[in-house]
Structure 1
């Protein structure tokens, strides 16, 4: 029971260092929720209607690059707003220690490796849901970082958010990092079955031919 009470005390000590009335925090939360929904439902719209390809003069490649640019730009905006928002928040004494800062730096570095290597392995088209645009890979990538994590891009991004929060000692950043993780878990539930359906349909067409 002592451990439970101690955990509760830590939780409430951190929670009181978060100002949810801040417009910057509210905007950061909006982009954390909006961005993954945008790229998933945007890619699904293309798969079902070919709307983006039609707007790109019938070019699937041009469409996926244009879509990638919007997703990448939204990501930059989200990351900038997140950093700006948490810097405007109170610093938590519980997190403002050299050890926590070191852990934050390690998490950010690890997350950056996962994100950058997964992008390198997948390429722009693969990273930004190119399979929804008709660009399907012949084989599943299984070497690093996919040999370590099923979704290194999402997990790495979460680590970067959390690492940033710990580096600055911001409880608000820890909270938003938890929301980032929750949103990625949600989009995985949306994305993975649909992606599996795309490849299953491709395999069925191959057999039929």
Structure 2
């Protein structure tokens, strides 16, 4: 039985400094917003800095959004310099799939932002800005974490559109990073809401 020659596939995975930096930016973002949100919850430093929990949350939201734009641009640029896998990925069917995934991913992200609002999307609960009730409509009725999963689909769609195998691996890394982030976020958010009488800001 002849062994499989994996070297011909590895040539399509170029772990260069650009892709390494893209991975750094992908890792940094959820680490950053979890640390900052926890510090705000414990010390209210953004609330004190801006004079209001709402302004503090908006400042964090603008920062997270800007970091996300920067991360996406770094990822996009790094992908363009990766080898293209023409035999299987560079065709009309895969590009059509990429369009569908990108569209659905953005629907999940944008609809969840609309349903949650700015403070609901950008960790307002750490500022004592709690939602009155759990959002159960679309897209939360089909996905518990539409923001993270939608973002992951957009990463994957971009990789498929450009036919870059490394992009597929990076998309898997994005998925794993978001899962790790949820291990920290979900229990803590549940704790805040279980004790909402203590942590909710009544006079915002």
TM-score > 0.5 by shorter chain: yes
Deviation at residue 40 of structure 1 after TM alignment: 1.3
> Could you tell me whether the CA contact under 8 Å between 1:118 and 1:153 is conserved in 2?
yes
Aligned-partner Cα distance in 1 for 2:7–2:115:
42
TM-score using structure 1 length: 0.89
1:116 paired with 2:110, answer: yes
Partner of 2:14: 19
> Could you tell me whether the CA contact under 8 Å between 1:53 and 1:59 is conserved in 2?
yes
TM-score using structure 2 length: 0.91
Aligned-partner Cα distance in 2 for 1:174–1:150:
23
Paired residue secondary structure (1:144) = coil
Partner of 1:78: 71
Partner of 1:178: 172
**What per-residue deviation string (whole Å, max 9, x for no partner) do you get for residues 67-90 of structure 1?**
111100000000000001001111
The alignment yields a C-alpha RMSD, in angstroms, of 2.1
Structure 1 pair 169/193, CA: closer, same or farther in 2 (3 Å)?
same
Aligned-partner Cα distance in 1 for 2:70–2:199:
40
Structure with more of its chain in helix, by fraction: 1
Structure 1 pair 183/13, CA: closer, same or farther in 2 (3 Å)?
farther
1:60 paired with 2:62, answer: no
Deviation at residue 14 of structure 1 after TM alignment: 4.6
Aligned-partner Cα distance in 1 for 2:7–2:103:
29
**What per-residue deviation string (whole Å, max 9, x for no partner) do you get for residues 34-93 of structure 1?**
10111111111100110111111x311111111111100000000000001001111012
Structure 1 pair 193/14, CA: closer, same or farther in 2 (3 Å)?
farther
Map of 1:96-107 to 2, 5 A cutoff? 96-107=90-101
**For structure 2, which runs of at least 5 residues remain unmatched after alignment?**
none
Consecutive aligned runs of 4 or more in structure 1 exceeding 3 Å deviation: 11-15, 203-206
Partner of 1:46: 40
Partner of 1:88: 81
